Structure 1
Amino acid sequence: MHKNREERQYITYRSPFDPCPPLPCRTYVVPVNQYVVFQPADLPQFSPAEALKHGTLWPALYSPYESR
């Protein structure tokens, strides 16, 4: 599995009475915009066509969706 800066993981709780043990760890995605609290000056931008393709104007906020 590809690891990126937006993906986090945690260890699930395992009950002693659970007949089927759960997966050892689960993952979730933290949106990239949680890291950028304000828009810095001179932030690089995609071209208009690329921005429509990626869904954002700024490469720093682009996070590709990876299907499992």
Structure 2
Amino acid sequence: MEGTSHEWRPYENSRSPFDPCPARVKWYDVPPEVTHPVQKSARRQFAPQEALRKGTLWPEYDSPYPPA
């Protein structure tokens, strides 16, 4: 995910020692507000109409995925 401040983290589900299948690692996207909790001053902003479309004023908080 080039150009975004998102962080991808692995998740390995728990499984029984008797499970014949190997564990599958899944990846999930950590929202930027978790990794950047403090809003810095003088940061770049979207234009008002684009910010309304994207749902955020700051590009580093923009996610390519729709909200859940």
TM-score by length of 2: 0.69
The equivalent of 1:17 in structure 2 is: 18
In the alignment, the residues of structure 2 paired with residue 33 and residue 9 of structure 1 have an alpha-carbon distance, to the nearest angstrom, of 18
The 5-angstrom pairing of residues 2-41 of structure 1 reads 5-19=6-20, 21=21, 23-41=23-41
Unaligned runs of 5+ in 2: none
| Equivalent residues, number | 64
The equivalent of 2:47 in structure 1 is: 47
RMSD after superposition: 2.5
In the alignment, the residues of structure 2 paired with residue 63 and residue 6 of structure 1 have an alpha-carbon distance, to the nearest angstrom, of 11
In the alignment, the residues of structure 2 paired with residue 7 and residue 34 of structure 1 have an alpha-carbon distance, to the nearest angstrom, of 12
In percent, how many aligned pairs have the same letter?
44
Whose relative contact order is higher, 1 or 2, with alpha carbons under 8 Å and at least 6 apart? Answer: 2
